[in-house]
A = this chain, B = another copy of it.
């Protein structure tokens, strides 16, 4: 008998799950229906800032696989069609197309891949014309159209996280005066403030005005209702265009209405196989779920394309009759603003404290290449290790070329539960164009191991 798989959401998780299930089960055995409310599928939202900056074409080049390709693959993909209700009891989904036509579709297996929605603070003016999110390809087109208007000279970016700093760069690249306004102590609050300070210095060096510790209280509008400034308690920042980079939250209203289990961050809760907890035939992954942080042992919401793709593959393998699981994350993230590279993995200080972990820290400066080699660039590495055990807890890096992807060394070490003492002897690639004889990660591990020993001496 033919089973039916229904997929809600046509981006990374949903379409990876559909494609992987299709590779393992032919159309005669598994019918696949996918609902996507937008016009695009399988696109890289992470690429939008680079498209806006002009680094890459868009929006087509950001699409990894087109609707036509999915359909050729015997996936019944319905664009412009939104899932508006899940009836988990009877195993069916209510969809609505752009003409308002509604229809119930029964499922044997359901994949919920509804992604995330950008955080819009509940402040006056936030919905005004000229205020842009950067979540979808349509958003990207709207920003580019906004930049094309006459007399656009000043941009205000609200939020200093990854999207915020990437969009600050994109606005600079359009020749605008850029102000970045953020409520946190320093930009890039996924780093500790001492490392965030380096990002702030880099942004300021590029000519961005950085206003930290000042939550935005309103978007002020002109007579036509268009954004003209962003206000904090202390100041007004004139803006011809406003970009919101305040992060995202799980898009789980539909799942909540269906009575599916949500965690404290609002994401769906799943088992290791990415099955929604307690539901045999309902799966979820990507930006709408919570994931286990292997270092803190707690659940987190992390919206990142790489996790979304992995989840989709795992779901598709399992629906296809194979077996795959997702062990969790260690919290790795990399970004850049112009030539400044930023990376982190594991726990920052406040996260370690929240997890009940005591730790030592080590901050070192080293270079990306042998000091005598051309273009050797300074990088700062901060490492956290657990008091007593010396187990690695986290790494943060700010530098230039060659800085960001070094965090992968720490990501693997975290996954393996290595101590900083063990890390000192890691056999990392060395040649003068690629590393000093002691890789910066090893230098940090040496210092951290020293701190662990010192702390042990004075219990």
List A residues at the B interface (Cβ < 8 Å): 12, 44, 46-47, 50, 55-57, 61-62, 64, 162, 304-307, 309-310, 325-327, 329-336, 341, 343, 345, 370, 372-374, 402, 404-409, 411-413, 415-416, 418, 422, 424-435, 437-439
Q: Of B64, B325, B336, B434, which one neighbours A405 at CB under 8 angstroms?
A: B434
> What residues on B are CB-neighbors of A412 within 8 Å?
409, 412-413, 416, 418, 426
> A415: which B residues are within 8 A, CB to CB?
416, 418, 422, 426-427
Q: Are B327 and A434 in contact (CB under 8 A)?
A: no
Closest Cβ neighbor of A432 among chain B residues: B47
Protomer copies: 2
Q: How far is the CA of A413 from the CA of B418 in the complex (A)?
A: 11
Q: If A373-B55, A405-B402 touch, does A336 touch B47 (CB 8 Å cutoff)?
A: no
Q: Please determine whether A334 and B431 come into contact, CB atoms closer than 8 angstroms.
A: yes
Q: How far is the CA of A429 from the CA of B190 in the complex (A)?
A: 14
Q: How far is the CA of A164 from the CA of B323 in the complex (A)?
A: 47
| Known contacts A55-B374, A438-B309; A335 and B431 CB within 8 A of each other | yes
Given A47-B372, A336-B433, A433-B336, A428 contacting B411 (CB threshold 8 A): yes
Give the residue of B46, B57, B433 whose beta carbon is less than 8 angstroms from that of A431: B46
Contact of A432 among B44, B326, B438 (CB under 8 A): B44
Taking a contact as CB atoms under 8 Å apart, the answer to whether A44 and B435 are in contact is no
Contacts of A428 in B (CB 8 A): 306, 332, 408, 411
In the complex with contacts A56-B374, A428-B306, A430-B305, A437-B12 CB distance below 8 A: yes
**Which B residues lie within 8 Å of A409 (CB)?**
408-409, 412
Residues of B within 8 A of A427 (CB): 306-307, 329-332, 345, 411, 415
Contact of B434 with A306 in the complex, beta carbons under 8 Å: no
Known: A416-B416, A425-B310, A437-B306. Is A56-B373 also a contact (CB below 8 A)?
A: yes
> Whole-angstrom distance between the alpha carbons of A64 and B436 in the complex?
11
A–B complex contacts, Cβ < 8 Å, 9 sampled? A47-B373, A57-B372, A306-B427, A306-B438, A327-B425, A333-B430, A334-B429, A336-B431, A415-B422
Contacting A62 at CB < 8 Å: which of B310, B333, B372, B424? Answer: B372
CB distance from A169 to the nearest CB of B (A): 11
A314 to B158 CA separation, bound complex (whole angstroms): 50
Contact B411 A334 (CB under 8 A): no
Minimum C-beta distance from A459 to chain B (A): 19
